Amino acid sequence: MGKGMLPFQPALGEIEQSVAVFPLPGAMLLPHGRIPLNIFEPRYLALVEDALGAGRMFGMIQPDSLKPPVTNGPAVFSVGCLGRITSFTETEDGRIVLSLLGVIRFSVVEELEMRHGYRRMRIEVSPYAGDLDPPSNDIALPRKALLSALRGYFDRQGLTADWNAIGEMDDATLLTALCMMCPFAPSEKQALLEAASPAERIQILQALLEFGLHGQESEGGAPRLS
């Protein structure tokens, strides 16, 4: 068993350096966050089948629409997040519905030869070793102000939320959930993913909510914070 937070979480040295990746626009996974996926394309069904037989892990990464396509498909951002399949269900119409738990961020080193139609990349995870630590609630989350801005942002966007469930989340879980669930632009989600600390992630999230609340477009897809 690894020394991570959960019984099935790998230790840093157990993580493969060559991984399958699922490029999905607007779907950003953070360490300790959970994302549901509905898999139906043959190449991604093959990816999931292969992952289930080899550590149950694959990478989530966002396509970068500002860059020209590469040989194997759309260009992607340089940082993604490895996820571990924690549960899955096979449907009668040939889909796999699964839950993916964020484990650790990674930097893309190079793209590898495709396998069964899906993309694979050589990655580096050591700069993000801290992602394997249990999440801390000592993050100075400005909870009241953040939830107030979130309500205004959701109202403006015409979105609904289970506010009781949101109110019951601890600070670390709330920060991760809000970063993942809010419908920010891919480059904005990428800024949240690449934040160097919870404090920086909080700052970016607050700025994005304020920009969205007042109907402003952020320059270059992410707000200026200085």
Q: The domain spanning residue 123 has which CATH number?
A: 2.30.130.40
The pLDDT score that the predictor gives to residue 226 is 29
* CA 76 to the chain's CA centroid: 14
Whether 196 is covered by a domain: the verdict is yes
| Among candidate residues 109, 132, 155, the one where a domain is terminated | 132
- For 101-118, what is each residue's pLDDT tens digit? 999 999 999 999 999 999
Whether 137 is covered by a domain: the verdict is no
CA distance 8 to 99: 15
The pLDDT score that the predictor gives to residue 108 is 98
* Residues 163 and 215 placed together within one structural domain of the fold: yes
* Residues 171 and 128 placed together within one structural domain of the fold: no
Whether 5 is covered by a domain: the verdict is no
* Residues 123 and 167 placed together within one structural domain of the fold: no
Core vs surface per residue 196-211: b (16+ CB within 10 A) or e = eebeebbebbbbbbeb
Whether 3 is covered by a domain: the verdict is no
* Residues 217 and 155 placed together within one structural domain of the fold: yes
- For 128-161, what is each residue's pLDDT tens digit? 999 999 988 899 999 999 999 999 999 998 999 8
The pLDDT score that the predictor gives to residue 213 is 77
The model's confidence at residue 48, banded by pLDDT at 50, 70 and 90, is very high
The amino acid that residue 146 corresponds to is L
- For 162-211, what is each residue's pLDDT tens digit? 999 999 999 999 999 999 999 999 999 999 999 999 999 999 999 999 98
Phi, psi (5° rounding) for residue 58?
-155, 165
* Residues 115 and 217 placed together within one structural domain of the fold: no
What's the token pair of residue 202? 């909080």
* Residues 50 and 106 placed together within one structural domain of the fold: yes
What's the token pair of residue 189? 């989600």
The pLDDT score that the predictor gives to residue 6 is 66
The model's confidence at residue 54, banded by pLDDT at 50, 70 and 90, is confident
* Residues 110 and 173 placed together within one structural domain of the fold: no
Domain count for the chain, please give it.
Answer: 2
Whether 6 is covered by a domain: the verdict is no
| Among candidate residues 132, 151, 175, the one where a domain is terminated | 132
* Residues 82 and 153 placed together within one structural domain of the fold: no
* Residues 45 and 125 placed together within one structural domain of the fold: yes
| Among candidate residues 91, 110, 132, the one where a domain is terminated | 132
Instruction: Give the largest Cα separation in the chain, rounded.
Output: 52
Whether 63 is covered by a domain: the verdict is yes
- For 180-192, what is each residue's pLDDT tens digit? 999 999 999 999 9
Residue 67 has pLDDT above 70, yes or no: yes
Which residue range(s) make up the domain with 87? 12-132
The model's confidence at residue 221, banded by pLDDT at 50, 70 and 90, is very low
* Residues 94 and 198 placed together within one structural domain of the fold: no
- For 4-32, what is each residue's pLDDT tens digit? 456 788 999 999 999 999 999 989 999 99
* Residues 64 and 173 placed together within one structural domain of the fold: no
Average pLDDT over residues 31-55: 96
What's the token pair of residue 69? 């396509």
Q: At a CB cut-off of 8 Å and minimum separation 6, what does 99 contact? A: 34, 35, 36, 37, 85, 86, 87, 88
Whether 214 is covered by a domain: the verdict is yes
* Residues 65 and 116 placed together within one structural domain of the fold: yes
Whether 2 is covered by a domain: the verdict is no
Average pLDDT over residues 60-77: 96
